[in-house]
Chain A
Amino acid sequence: MTENPARESRLLRGVHRTVTGLHPALESVVAAIVGLLIGAVLMYIWGFDPWKAYWALLRGAYGGSYEWASSLARGTPLILTALTFSICVRAGMFNIGAEGQMMIGAMAAVCVALFKAPVGLHLVIGLVFAAVAGALWSVVPAILKVSRGVSEVISTIMFNWIGRWLALYLAIYVIVDPMRAEKTLTVPVTARFPILVRGTDLSASIFLAVGVALVMYFLLWHTTLGYEVRAAGLNPTAARYGGIRSKRTMIVSFLLGGVTAGLAGATIAMGLPPSYAIFGGGGLPELTNLGFDGMAVAMVGRNHPIGILVAGVFFGGLNAGGRVMQFYGSNPVPLEMIRVVMGAIVLAMAIPELIRLFPAIKRQGDKLFAALRRGRDPRSKEGSA
């Protein structure tokens, strides 16, 4: 295989250029900068010093090994829930259900506290529990869509609520810690992810997230299954012509998405010190919004597993740094500001898509531009006549 032409394949395959003509990765960077700028303007309006605040954010996110560790730790579940969303987007669907699937997965992972097993095996069993539970929670909307044509957007949103309250019920009444009613059973030491950096939240679960992302990448671009999923997502009629069963790719992509969401829940239950448990009493604070934030990560990561890894570290950094920004001496910017920045980034990401959705706007703009140029250049028509 000396003249193996496969070498021509590029790393970021499947990243399509958008309307701005920029490379999509660059477009994401621009969107992030726009989001930070909007945040800066808001901080200024409310009397904070944006430079100081962002400096605190940067130092808090990536200023040292401790900061890096907590950024990565916060990015870990987001990477997994982002994969949930993006694999379904690749298959042409919007799976909003990562939130519920992740919560159910976390509860399943907590169940390892009910029995004993050797180190390592106990962890693996917990991961399998979480993956299967997430997949089961995910496959119901998929089956509804395939068999009854129910919109997956609606059904996954409803399943999020069912999942949330079911998880809360389980945490409060079923797998509750008999000594402390506000939290679930504690995941035993044998089933915990080892901590990588002493004194931080960063556990080996980051390897799980990176590993799953790489597997997803391989699956999507190097297997026939991934080929079918992407074909069905980009052009369902051509996929059908090509002998691809779209119902199958739908179910498979939802199952895979459920697995990653379930694992995201497991990384919290089994990998978040110091409690290694889920607090039902506080309304599942560790879990809430991980699924929805994952959608933002998926968008900024362009629904590409490698892009999602980068975006996950960025969003993890925003979360970790935001907490530091909050306590930064003379300039205590509330944590909510970071959520504003995240929202602004997502909106900025959507602008090129909006332009694509309304080509008429672009045409009008082009026309105006052309008219302006003609106005400036008198040679255009009259001169030649």
Chain B
Amino acid sequence: MNENAGPEARRGADGYLLRAEGITKIYSDGTVALKKATLEIHSHEIIGLLGENGAGKTTLTKILSGLLPPTHGRVVSPRGPVRFANPREALDFGIGMVHQHFALVGTFTTTENVALSHEKPFSLIRLAKTRERLEALMEESGLRVPLDVPVEKLAVGEQQRVEILKVLSRDVRLLILDEPTSVLTPLEVDELFALLRKLKEKGTSVILITHKLKEVQSITDRIVVLRRGEMVGDVRTAEATTERLAQLMVGKTLEGEPTAFELSAEQLPRALSASRKKEFSGEGILHVVDLVARGNTGEVTVNGVTFDVHGGEIFGIAGVEGNGQSELVECLTGLRVPVSGSATIRGTNILGKDPRQIYRLGVAHVPEDRWRLGLVLPFTLAENAILGVHRWEEFQGPFGILRRGKVYQHVRQLMDRFDIQATGPNAPAKSLSGGNQQKLIVGRELAKDPAIVVASQPTRGLDIGAAKYIRDLLIEMRDNGRAILLVSADLDEVLALADQLAIMYEGRFMTSCRPDTLNREQIGMLMGGVACKEVA
């Protein structure tokens, strides 16, 4: 520390910038997102926060940047405890976060967007001054963005730079980036990393949230690993091996030490005993070749995926969310038109068909977002129970008249068979608990008597009982000879259920094999984008 009279952070007695002490976060729905996390951030440092979905990475950084208050614990600066009521206070203190989803006004130029972020109510907008400041900042940091173009005309990578400029223009000492590379091309990633190194030299600390092992190893000084809300590792990057990080990220299997995987396997005795060892004799049902699809912003999210799903088999797709799983499922269920490739169900092409035609071929779809896709929340239970099958002869009489008697009969059967707790068939779907809503969706889909069930995050947000019930249903369908495509960010779930496992990373399958042929360390590396061959 030979620079003198720097910002207050440099003067800290033991040289830290900020320290999170024993942070616990319990959300209002009872989810424990963080358990006693402690993190010390020094100046001149790039920290990688590594972990799976739901590990608590984002929660921790949201607490640091004032977006969420911690349930327990505190954030301490060398001058004493700090408490941010909102992100603005955190920014004033010198902590800025760039989120995965940008907060930019599309029709405003870069200058205007930055000026907007500086404004307090009723203050004047000083565009010229902001512009001057930005030009100086770009000169200093080497970060180049067109200043007078509406940001909606900029590429995603440039928009991200606008977000970073927005934060840097507030003289932050700690820059937090949430999965910044997920939207960037490899070249843009290099540029971003060059910028981060430069910032580090200038004294700004960076926290980089990521699940990509290679990236975290190439840029950071220190890697902090979170797993299920707990801080399981804090290692210097130079000393960390890929294997060690992968192990930390997904949990290791040591003799005698019960792991999350074994716990969930315990809850699923049938899963392991039933037909794990059985050879698949079912017919091939879903056949996908070289599927390529683009995401909502036009980037390639599914990049040449090939696989088969047979009857009597659960094909599990694991991977950190946002690696193309959603787009893959949407292509297979008629919600997205792919760029190229082919997909057939029992030999009939399904690509580009609309969902109704695909359901006719025997596809059931348990969607990942039950509120957005799975249910019409203000509709009653009865009305939701026929969504997607409402035009089937069973429910539609002559002249398109709904056979209400049949509909009510159907919903009563579903309620009995799938144990849906509700006041009656006329209860609005939004009055149901999450577990019962999901049972309604799963019940509706399984009642279609499908050849293949595409289940996307089927147990997300459910309590243990409801989750187990739904997993059991999937196993039951499998044992009845149906094909099941299970996509889940919950690795333990996929490992416990799948007969065949694929791990998706940046739109590709890193591997496709029997789950028992991989150990958890290898799985962790594959999820982080490191192929087994590179390691071996």
A interface residue numbers (CB < 8 A to B):
1, 4-6, 8-10, 13, 16, 222-225, 227-228, 230-231, 234-235, 237-245
Check A8–B426 contact: CB distance below 8 A. yes
* Interface residue? B121 (CB, 8 A): no
Query: DSSP class of A's interface residues: helix, strand, loop or mixed?
Result: helix
Q: Which of A8, A225, A237, A242 has the most CB of B within 10 A?
A: A242
Check A243–B354 contact: CB distance below 8 A. yes
The 18 listed contacts between A and B (C-beta, < 8 Å) are A4-B405, A5-B425, A8-B425, A222-B402, A223-B399, A223-B400, A224-B400, A228-B390, A230-B379, A231-B379, A234-B376, A234-B379, A238-B376, A238-B387, A239-B376, A240-B355, A243-B334, A243-B355
A10–chain B nearest beta-carbon distance, Å:
7
Across the interface, A238 reaches (CB within 8 A) one of B357, B372, B390, B402, namely B372
B82–chain A nearest beta-carbon distance, Å:
24
Q: Which residues of B contact A241 (CB under 8 A)?
A: 333, 335, 355, 365, 367, 373-374, 387-388
* Interface residue? B383 (CB, 8 A): yes
Q: How far is the CA of A222 from the CA of B425 in the complex (A)?
A: 16
Q: How far is the CA of A222 from the CA of B412 in the complex (A)?
A: 19
Check A237–B373 contact: CB distance below 8 A. yes
Q: Which residues of B contact A1 (CB under 8 A)?
A: 405
Considering only residues 368-391 of chain B, those with a C-beta below 8 Å from chain A are: 372-380, 383, 386-388, 390-391
Beta-carbon nearest neighbor of B407 in chain A = A6
The 3 closest A-B pairs by CB, nearest first: A243-B356, A5-B408, A242-B387
A206–chain B nearest beta-carbon distance, Å:
26
Beta-carbon nearest neighbor of B405 in chain A = A6
Q: How far is the CA of A231 from the CA of B390 in the complex (A)?
A: 11
Q: How far is the CA of A307 from the CA of B333 in the complex (A)?
A: 39
Given contacts A4-B405, A6-B408, A8-B425, contact A242 B388 (CB under 8 A): yes
Q: How far is the CA of A8 from the CA of B404 in the complex (A)?
A: 10
Check A243–B388 contact: CB distance below 8 A. yes
Check A227–B377 contact: CB distance below 8 A. no
Check A224–B402 contact: CB distance below 8 A. yes
Given contacts A223-B402, A231-B379, contact A9 B426 (CB under 8 A): yes
Q: Which residues of B contact A235 (CB under 8 A)?
A: 372, 375-377
A293–chain B nearest beta-carbon distance, Å:
28
Bits for B389-413, please: 1 = Cβ < 8 Å to A, else 0.
0110001100111101101110010
Q: Which residues of A contact B367 (CB under 8 A)?
A: 241
* Interface residue? B424 (CB, 8 A): yes
- New contact pairs (16) apart from A5-B425, A231-B383, CB-CB < 8 Å: A4-B405, A6-B408, A10-B426, A222-B402, A223-B402, A224-B401, A231-B376, A231-B379, A234-B376, A234-B378, A234-B379, A237-B372, A238-B373, A238-B376, A240-B335, A244-B356
Q: How far is the CA of A13 from the CA of B383 in the complex (A)?
A: 11
* Interface residue? B509 (CB, 8 A): no
Q: How far is the CA of A5 from the CA of B405 in the complex (A)?
A: 6
A195–chain B nearest beta-carbon distance, Å:
34
Across the interface, B391 reaches (CB within 8 A) one of A6, A8, A224, namely A224
Across the interface, A242 reaches (CB within 8 A) one of B355, B380, B424, namely B355
B479–chain A nearest beta-carbon distance, Å:
27
Considering only residues 206-256 of chain B, those with a C-beta below 8 Å from chain A are: none
* Interface residue? B359 (CB, 8 A): yes
Q: Which residues of B contact A238 (CB under 8 A)?
A: 372-376, 387
Given contacts A228-B390, A238-B387, A241-B367, contact A8 B396 (CB under 8 A): no
Q: Which residues of A contact B426 (CB under 8 A)?
A: 8-10
Q: Which residues of B contact A222 (CB under 8 A)?
A: 401-402, 404
Given contacts A241-B367, A243-B359, A243-B388, contact A225 B376 (CB under 8 A): no
Q: Which residues of A contact B380 (CB under 8 A)?
A: 13
Check A227–B409 contact: CB distance below 8 A. no
Given contacts A235-B377, A242-B390, contact A224 B396 (CB under 8 A): yes
Q: Which residues of A contact B399 (CB under 8 A)?
A: 223
Q: How far is the CA of A228 from the CA of B388 in the complex (A)?
A: 10
A200–chain B nearest beta-carbon distance, Å:
37
A238–chain B nearest beta-carbon distance, Å:
5
Q: How far is the CA of A244 from the CA of B374 in the complex (A)?
A: 13
Q: Which residues of A contact B387 (CB under 8 A)?
A: 231, 238, 241-242
Q: Which residues of A contact B404 (CB under 8 A)?
A: 6, 9, 222
